[in-house]
């Protein structure tokens, strides 16, 4: 169609296009040039510049865009309506008053992005100018994580507004997270200000100055065991007898001063019986020294003088832990047969020791055939005039010293002297004294020729 | 017949034409490379800051894009219409036209930041229609037989070349039987528009037919077979050119009616847009 190509279509098309554009402009007004819908979400009932939303300005470009002949700027037009922002800038108040380029509205606020679109672009917003500067992980956090529903004003700044206290805290540590945690991570905890007494395990004594990592290995705090044995091995001195409940005897102040009020001494190798039960600990454990305490009697009890060193240190042979007063004596120490003679008084102390509480003296006379006259008569022919110390010559109660005892006490027979009065102990007339003298008496062979004037017994 | 003698037969071949896609590929390849670079940079910038048409980058893209589109429209037209302006080959100017048109349109789209609203949106829509129209025009342009200088060949010249091809065939001693003529020629009722749009398919199908036909002939050597195949395919292509030349020219005429006015509309709207933007541009 050559004829078609010969028509100078260009000018007509240009004119037609201009005409159509003019028609549309008359109908739509400035909206013809709008590059996109304006936001149509009123912030409230309040009007700014006579409108409730930017959408009402859609046919008036010059409401926001300063024309070349107006002498205004776009920013001045923005602040002309948004007087609150203008006031912030003038008074240097947050938020806009803190911005270095507060009057470059378009740096953050962009329109024509749709009726529902947000006006604010925070890509380059410096959160540091706010009362809540972003640090650590907060710098990477999505804005909407804190600013719900794109609400920025009045966003709470406390940690718990966004972060619920974890279960591991068990509601003990309060909401001032920054005391221990940083915004870098929840894991690496700064415990310099941490009050451990808020935890289930209160720090006392030496624990107060103990390094955290001594108990919390690898900075793991969750599930740290609270038993003593989890950190402290039972010492060898315990011999595995005292269990793991260290706090029964020990405090966190020191291991040394053990509190033994509730200590069961029977768990030790030395069970407390008798008078030991009521004896003060320090009586045996000098200076609260418990390790290596000797268990022998003589470690604490010196052998009394009355023993004259004769009876050894095996106190338990005669004494019990109940009392020193009563002693159980055996033939080992009472050379004269205890069960000598017969009759109803057999074995009774008073049968021989007529003087009460005086066991140093005895009398063979008055009993069956030991008559003083007959005895003197019999012994006279032997020229024996000393007739008071019978046991000297008759240690077994028999006629001749070499004769065995007629009623010999069996090995292990014991005579319980626990009924002896306590005043006997240590007195010159006590049984012990008597016994001592008997043991120190001259040998039986000396009786054949007694030395004149010699008193065998007091 | 020696090989040197056969060279004479090339006068019966169709006119040397650029590959249907070669010019477009060249222009398109350059366009794709530039668009990839610019698009990558733009995507990086978008990650930093939301793009706005009035921002420094958006404004720059708009200005450069407009100038490229203006260049694409005017330079090629001037080369075609101004008699004294003969610098460069038409095919080169066409590729320049394609490059400037594609890249310019791409920059304009980036300038709009995905917005197609108002007058600028209408202009962008017109621009995109122009781009599609340009692709169609390029196809129609290459469908029309031309000399190496881009001058269209008329049907008479094509008939002369076809007759020469027939003579070349006879010189080889080939006399086509009636049934062979039907197999090796275009359908008598092939419409012109199908000869244009289906050209690639028809040529591909015919090469197969020619191969099978030559295989049936008792030829002396392999070279004779190759030569015969080329002559037969060229003959078929000349037939297609003769059949499609009228339709191609008609379509090109209609295409001009669409494409050129679209250009006027586009630049009128773009100018209004620029004037309005300048009017309200006081920051």
Would you list the domain boundaries of chain A?
34-137, 197-271, 316-458
Report the alpha-carbon distance of residue A66 to residue A78 in Å, rounded: 10
Among the ranges given (B32-36, B156-160, B194-198), the one the predictor scored with the smallest mean pLDDT = B156-160
Residue A415 parent element (H or E): strand A414-416
Is A444's pLDDT higher than 60?
Answer: no
User: Do B89 and B97 touch, CB atoms closer than 8 A?
Assistant: no
Do B30 and B137 fall into the same domain? yes
DSSP secondary structure, B22-54, as one string: HHHHHHHHHHHHHHHHHHHHHHHHHHHS---TT
Give chain A positions within 8 Å (CB) of B119: 21, 32-33
**Shortest CA gap A84–chain B (Å):** 21
Do B138 and B158 fall into the same domain? no
CA torsion sign, A429 to A434 to A435 to A437? positive
CA distances from A276 to A265, A273, A370 (A): 10, 5, 47
User: Which one of A304-318, B37-51, B203-217 scores highest in mean pLDDT?
Assistant: B203-217
Examine residue B9 and state whether it is found in any structural domain, yes or no: no
Q: Which two tokens stand for residue A7?
A: 């028509």
Q: What local confidence, expressed as pLDDT, does residue B150 receive?
A: 60
Burial zone of A96 (CB within 10 Å; 0-12 exposed, 13-18 middle, 19+ buried): buried
Helices H, strands E: what count in chain A?
11, 2
Residue B112 parent element (H or E): helix B90-112
Do B50 and B112 fall into the same domain? yes
User: Which one of A248-257, A317-326, B121-130, B134-143 scores highest in mean pLDDT?
Assistant: B121-130
Do B140 and B40 fall into the same domain? yes
Helices H, strands E: what count in chain B?
10, 0
Is B26's pLDDT higher than 80?
Answer: no
DSSP secondary structure, A119-148, as one string: SB--TT--GGGSSS---GGGGGS-HHHHSG
Q: What local confidence, expressed as pLDDT, does residue B108 receive?
A: 92
Report the alpha-carbon distance of residue B151 to residue B90 in Å, rounded: 9
3-state secondary structure A267-289: HCCCCCCHHHHHCCHHHHCHHHC
Across A80-103, average pLDDT: 87
Q: What local confidence, expressed as pLDDT, does residue B147 receive?
A: 62
Is A146's pLDDT higher than 60?
Answer: yes
Examine residue B73 and state whether it is found in any structural domain, yes or no: yes
Model confidence at B167, pLDDT cuts 50, 70, 90, reads confident
Do B164 and B231 fall into the same domain? yes
Q: How many CB atoms lie within 10 A of CB A389?
A: 20
Instruction: Report the alpha-carbon angle B203-B208-B214, nearest 5.
Output: 120
Q: What local confidence, expressed as pLDDT, does residue A336 receive?
A: 81
Examine residue B131 and state whether it is found in any structural domain, yes or no: yes
DSSP secondary structure, A69-99, as one string: TT---HHHHHHHH-HHHHHHHHHT-TTGGG-
Across B25-39, average pLDDT: 83
Report the alpha-carbon distance of residue A72 to residue B281 in Å, rounded: 11
Which position has the higher pLDDT, A257 or A130? A130
Do B40 and B142 fall into the same domain? yes
Which position has the higher pLDDT, A366 or B32? B32
Examine residue B56 and state whether it is found in any structural domain, yes or no: yes
Q: Which two tokens stand for residue A45?
A: 């009932």
Examine residue B105 and state whether it is found in any structural domain, yes or no: yes
Rg from Cα positions in chain B = 25
Question: How remote is the C-alpha of A267 from its chain's centroid?
Answer: 23
The HSE-up count of residue B215 (CA atoms within 13 Å, CB side) is: 6
pTM equals: 0.53
Question: How remote is the C-alpha of B129 from its chain's centroid?
Answer: 17
A5/B118 CB distance under 8 A: no
A66/B283 CB distance under 8 A: yes
Q: Enumerate residues 236 to 255 of chain B having a beta carbon within 8 A of any beta carbon in chain A.
A: 250, 253-254
Q: What local confidence, expressed as pLDDT, does residue A331 receive?
A: 66
DSSP secondary structure, B172-196, as one string: TT----HHHHHHHS--TT--HHHHH
Question: Could you tell me if B35 lies within 8 Å of chain A, comparing CB atoms?
Answer: no
Give chain B positions within 8 Å (CB) of A10: 260, 264
Q: Which two tokens stand for residue A213?
A: 């990592």
Question: Could you tell me if B115 lies within 8 Å of chain A, comparing CB atoms?
Answer: yes
Question: How remote is the C-alpha of A374 from its chain's centroid?
Answer: 85
Q: What local confidence, expressed as pLDDT, does residue B107 receive?
A: 94
Question: Could you tell me if B281 lies within 8 Å of chain A, comparing CB atoms?
Answer: yes
ipTM confidence score? 0.71
Instruction: Report the alpha-carbon angle A384-A386-A389, nearest 5.
Output: 125
Report the alpha-carbon distance of residue A165 to residue A158 in Å, rounded: 12
Q: How many residues does chain A have?
A: 458
Is A439's pLDDT higher than 50?
Answer: no
Give chain A positions within 8 Å (CB) of B115: 35-36, 112
Q: What local confidence, expressed as pLDDT, does residue B105 receive?
A: 93
Report the alpha-carbon distance of residue A204 to residue A250 in Å, rounded: 12
Is B156's pLDDT higher than 90?
Answer: no
Rg from Cα positions in chain A = 57
Report the alpha-carbon distance of residue B27 to residue B96 in Å, rounded: 7
**Total number of domains in chain B:** 2
Average pLDDT of chain B is 81
Give chain B positions within 8 Å (CB) of A4: 253, 256-257
The pairing of strands A328-330 and A414-416 is antiparallel
DSSP state of A244: S
DSSP state of A168: G
Average pLDDT of chain A is 77
Do B110 and B64 fall into the same domain? yes
Residue B260's closest chain A neighbor by CA?
A10
Instruction: Report the alpha-carbon angle A287-A290-A292, nearest 5.
Output: 115
Is A1's pLDDT higher than 60?
Answer: no
**Shortest CA gap A107–chain B (Å):** 10
Examine residue B12 and state whether it is found in any structural domain, yes or no: no
Q: At what angle do helices B222-279 and B199-216 cross, to 10 degrees?
A: 170
Do B91 and B103 fall into the same domain? yes
DSSP state of A351: G
**Shortest CA gap B175–chain A (Å):** 41
Among the ranges given (A257-271, A336-350, B34-48, B59-73), the one the predictor scored with the smallest mean pLDDT = A336-350
Q: Which residues of A304-341 are buried (b: 16+ CB within 10 A; e: fewer)?
A: eebbeeebeeebeebbebeeeeebebebebbebbbbbb
Report the alpha-carbon distance of residue B278 to residue B273 in Å, rounded: 9
Model confidence at A449, pLDDT cuts 50, 70, 90, reads very low
The per-residue pLDDT for range A23-81, each reduced to its tens digit, is 999 998 888 888 888 999 887 778 888 899 999 998 888 899 988 788 888 889 999 99
Across A225-233, average pLDDT: 87
Q: What local confidence, expressed as pLDDT, does residue B227 receive?
A: 82
DSSP secondary structure, A5-22, as one string: HHS-HHHHHHHHHHHHHH
For the CA atoms of A444, A446, A447, A451, what is the dihedral angle to 10 degrees?
A: -150
Q: How many CB atoms lie within 10 A of CB B171?
A: 15
Report the alpha-carbon distance of residue B137 to residue B128 in Å, rounded: 14
User: Do B161 and B238 touch, CB atoms closer than 8 A?
Assistant: yes
Q: In this prediction, what percent of chain A has a pLDDT beyond 90?
A: 6
Mutate to test the interface with A, among B44, B115, B260 (most CBs of A within 10 A): B115
Domain of residue B114, residue span? 22-150+250-279
Is A422's pLDDT higher than 80?
Answer: no
Which position has the higher pLDDT, B223 or B266? B266
Residue A71's closest chain B neighbor by CA?
B282
User: Do B50 and A108 touch, CB atoms closer than 8 A?
Assistant: no
Do B95 and B145 fall into the same domain? yes
């Amino acid at each position: 169609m050559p004829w078609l190509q010969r028509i100078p279509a260009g000018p007509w098309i240009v004119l037609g296009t201009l005409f159509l554009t003019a028609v549309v402009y008359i109908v739509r007004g400035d909206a013809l040039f709008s590059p996109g819908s304006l936001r149509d979400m009123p912030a409230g009932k309040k009007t700014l510049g006579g409108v409730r939303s930017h959408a009402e300005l859609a046919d008036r470009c010059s409401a926001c865009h300063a024309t070349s002949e107006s002498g205004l700027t776009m920013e001045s037009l923005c602040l002309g309506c948004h007087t609150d922002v203008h006031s912030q800038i003038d008074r240097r108040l947050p938020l806009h008053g803190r911005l270095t380029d507060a009057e470059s509205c378009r740096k953050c606020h962009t329109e024509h992005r749709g009726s529902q679109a947000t006006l604010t672009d925070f890509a380059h917003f410096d959160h540091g100018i706010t009362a809540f500067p972003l640090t650590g992980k907060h710098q990477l956090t999505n804005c909407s994580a804190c600013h719900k529903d794109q609400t920025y004003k009045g966003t709470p700044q406390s940690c718990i507004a966004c972060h619920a206290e974890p279960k591991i805290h068990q509601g003990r540590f309060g909401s001032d997270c920054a005391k221990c945690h940083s915004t870098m991570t929840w894991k690496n905890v700064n415990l310099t200000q941490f009050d451990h007494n808020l935890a289930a395990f209160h720090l006392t004594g030496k624990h107060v100055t103990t390094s955290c990592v001594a108990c919390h290995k690898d900075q793991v705090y969750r599930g740290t065991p609270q038993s003593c044995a989890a950190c402290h091995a039972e010492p060898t001195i315990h011999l595995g007898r005292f269990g793991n409940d260290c706090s029964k005897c020990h405090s966190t102040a020191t291991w040394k001063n053990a509190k033994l009020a509730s200590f069961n001494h029977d768990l030790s190798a030395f069970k407390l019986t008798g008078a030991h039960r009521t004896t003060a600990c320090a009586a045996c454990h000098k200076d609260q020294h418990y390790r290596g305490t000797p268990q022998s009697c003589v470690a604490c009890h010196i052998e009394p003088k009355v023993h004259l060193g004769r009876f050894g240190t095996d106190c338990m042979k005669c004494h019990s832990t109940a009392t020193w007063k009563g002693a159980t004596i055996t033939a080992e120490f009472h050379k004269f047969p205890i069960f000598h003679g017969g009759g109803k008084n057999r074995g009774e102390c008073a049968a021989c020791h007529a003087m009460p509480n005086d066991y140093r003296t005895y009398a063979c006379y008055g009993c069956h055939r030991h008559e003083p006259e007959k005895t003197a008569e019999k012994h006279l022919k032997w020229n024996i005039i000393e007739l008071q110390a019978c046991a000297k010559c008759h240690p077994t109660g028999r006629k001749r010293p070499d004769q065995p005892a007629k009623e010999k006490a069996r090995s292990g027979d014991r005579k319980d002297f626990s009924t002896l009065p306590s005043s006997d102990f240590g007195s010159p007339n006590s049984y012990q004294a008597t016994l001592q003298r008997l043991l120190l008496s001259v040998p039986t062979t000396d009786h054949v020729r007694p030395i004149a004037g010699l008193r065998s017994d007091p | 017949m020696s090989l040197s003698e056969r060279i004479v037969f090339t006068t019966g071949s169709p006119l040397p034409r650029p590959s249907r896609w070669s010019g477009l590929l060249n222009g398109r390849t350059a366009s794709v490379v530039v668009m990839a670079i610019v698009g990558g940079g733009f995507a990086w910038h978008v990650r930093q800051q939301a793009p706005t048409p009035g921002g420094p980058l958006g404004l720059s893209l708009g200005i450069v894009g407009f100038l490229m589109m203006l260049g694409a429209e005017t330079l090629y037209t001037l080369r075609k219409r101004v008699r004294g302006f003969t610098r460069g080959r038409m095919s080169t100017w066409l590729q320049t036209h394609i490059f400037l048109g594609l890249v310019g349109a791409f920059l304009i789209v980036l300038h709009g930041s995905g917005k197609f609203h108002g007058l600028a949106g209408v202009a962008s829509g017109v621009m995109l229609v122009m781009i599609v129209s340009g692709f169609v025009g390029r196809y129609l342009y290459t469908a029309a037989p031309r000399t190496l200088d881009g001058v269209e060949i008329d049907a008479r010249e094509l008939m002369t070349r076809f007759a020469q091809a027939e003579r070349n065939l006879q010189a080889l001693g080939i006399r086509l039987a009636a049934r062979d003529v039907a197999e090796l020629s275009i359908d008598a009722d092939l419409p012109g528009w199908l000869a244009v749009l289906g050209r690639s398919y028809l040529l591909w199908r015919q090469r197969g037919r020619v191969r099978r036909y030559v295989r049936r002939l008792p030829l002396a050597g392999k070279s004779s077979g190759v030569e015969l195949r080329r002559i037969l395919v060229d003959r078929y292509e000349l037939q297609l050119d003769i059949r499609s030349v009228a339709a191609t020219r008609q379509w090109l005429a209609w295409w001009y009616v669409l494409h050129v006015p679209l250009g006027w509309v586009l630049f009128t709207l773009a100018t209004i847009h620029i004037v309005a933007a300048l009017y309200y541009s006081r920051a």
